[in-house]
Amino acid sequence: MSWNEEGRAYTFENVTPHATNANEYDALYVGTTGNVEVVGSHMADNATGIVFNNVPSGTFLPIAVKRVLAANTTATNIIGLKVAGLR
């Protein structure tokens, strides 16, 4: 699904955390409580991930990420969103 209005998600997809695969998003939705480890869009490709601990289910994280890492991610049902006008 997509929207064309500025500032709204124009595409979204299920996220599979991975050590090296790039999955760039402007925000994340966490469906099931847990930790989410990410490499931010502004960070170097080989940067150590940042862990958001105990993210409650139903939370939107308004963070630009280039990767969602598997190592310390325990949250599930994560959806990546790309926002119109930001990319």
How is the chain split into domains, by residue range?
9-83
pLDDT, residue 87, reads 55
**pLDDT, tens digit, 9 for 90 and up, residues 18-77:** 988 888 999 999 999 999 999 999 998 888 999 999 999 999 999 999 999 999 999 999
Confidence of residue 3 (pLDDT cuts 50, 70, 90): very low
Q: Which of 40, 44, 42 is nearest to 61 (CA)?
A: 40
Residue with tokens 């955390």: 17
pLDDT at 6: 58
Task: Please classify residue 15 by burial: count the beta carbons closer than 10 Å to its beta carbon, then call 0-12 exposed, 13-18 middle and 19+ buried.
Answer: buried
